[in-house]
Amino acid sequence: MESNRSRTRTLKHWIGQPSSAIFLVFIILIAFFQLSNPIFLSPVNVATMLRALSYTGIIGIGMATCLMSGVLDLSVGSTSALASVVFGSAIRDWGFDLLPAIGLGLLMGVLVGAINSFVILKLKITPFIATISMMFIVRGLANWVSNGYNIYPLSDQVLALGYARPLGVSWAFWAFVVLAILTHLVLQYSLFGLLIRAVGSDREVAMCTEVNVDRVNTITLVSVSVLAAVAGIFISFVINAGSPTVGSGWEFTAITACAIGGISLFGYHGSIFGLFCGLAVIQIMQNGIVMLGVSPYLQNVVVGAILIIAMMIDVRRRAYLDLDKI
């Protein structure tokens, strides 16, 4: 009797985790695709998937903290493009060495984040409108800097970074891992992590308790832009070019990964583990359905349907725990 109760408690605790539903989907998908094609979990294919998720993963980390603090940034894909072309121009046209060029690319992220913060927090424009406007402005700037043209080729040093396979994957993936661990530690164990959730939970209450709400949001908005710049520079390594077209749609992939990973679009809830599961599920589906030979016309249908199933499981989980009544 006691052991039954203990088992139920453990199950409830596990189901109580926001990312449990997507983790379940993640496991089911891996099992399904592996059984369908044993090559699915081959080292080469796993490395391919990990490399592919790293760019939107790096952005997803910033997006997750933004969402948890109650703001949203739709300009991240454009910021990646701006960082990519500024980095590319710095290397090819302005005679910069690698590190200063990376610094200049990252500076673009800081600037875009600072402008987003100013527009959202000082001019009181909603994050959706402010960042969608910045999405156009920054993409336009990326085209202007590059004359709308790929800045190509960069240098042998950049190319070597793109070719590098540390532990069989890529620098971008390991950067994602390090950033994910750091962000997880900050969110779980630091005062700042607590402040992010406090601001995302209820801005007014946070203000009343003398939390510097604007400071918290500024840090999350600048962080996501800098991370977008990091992703833009990493893709430049791979293509050996600064490209004004990179990052198209990355904002939606990052937000989708957050949403299906259990990160609330309205603040507070979520974890970096959930984000990883969300990113992995998207990548596994995109890779797996090609392996299954699903008609390309139907691939998006399958992806959309699996996302809905993932969300349905989450709704059931919440209903089971009565979370919606809280």
Q: Which one-letter amino acid corresponds to residue 223?
A: S
Confirm or reject binding of residue 38 to another protein (CB under 8 A). no
Q: Pick the stretch among 6-14, 198-206, 265-273, 285-293 that binds another protein (CB under 8 A).
A: 285-293
When asked if residue 293 is in the footprint of another protein (CB under 8 A), the reply is yes
29 is a contact residue toward another protein (CB under 8 A): no
Q: Is 171 in the site for another protein (CB under 8 A)?
A: no
Among 51, 92, 203, 317, binds another protein (CB under 8 A): 51
Task: Give me 264's structure tokens.
Answer: 């609330």
In the complex, minimum distance from the CB of residue 164 to another protein, in angstroms, rounded to a whole number: 11
Does position 42 interact with another protein (CB under 8 A)? The reply is: yes
Q: Is 34 exposed, middle or buried (0-12, 13-18, 19+ CB in 10 A)?
A: middle
14 near another protein, rule: CB under 8 A: no
Candidates 13, 148, 188, 308; binder of another protein (CB under 8 A) is 148
Among 2, 124, 297, 326, binds another protein (CB under 8 A): 297
For residues 207 and 191, what is the distance between their CA atoms, to the nearest angstrom? 16
Which among 78, 157, 87 is positioned nearest to 116, based on CA atoms? Answer: 78
Q: Does 301 bind another protein (CB under 8 A)?
A: no
Give the H or E element holding residue 49.
helix 43-68
Q: What are the phi and psi torsion angles at 71 (to 5°)?
A: -125, 175
243 binds another protein (CB under 8 A): yes
* The only residue of 30, 110, 133, 153 in contact with another protein, by rule CB under 8 A: 153
Minimum distance from CB of 145 to another protein (Å)?
12
Rounded distance between C-alpha atoms, residue 67 and residue 221, angstroms: 10
Q: Following DSSP, what letter does each residue of 58-93 receive, concatenated?
A: HHHHHHHHHHHTT---S-HHHHHHHHHHHHHHHHHT
Side-chain half-sphere of 287: how many Cα atoms within 13 Å? 26
Copy the structure tokens of residue 156.
């042998």
Selected binder of another protein within 3, 38, 147, 166 (CB under 8 A): 147
Indicate whether 48 belongs to the interface with another protein (CB under 8 A).
yes
Provide φ and ψ at 151, rounded to 5°.
-90, 105
Q: What beta strand segments (E) does the chain contain?
A: none
Give residues in contact with another protein (CB under 8 A).
37, 39-40, 42, 44-45, 47-49, 51-52, 55-56, 139, 143, 147-150, 152-153, 163, 235, 238-239, 241, 243-250, 283, 286-288, 290-291, 293, 295-297, 299
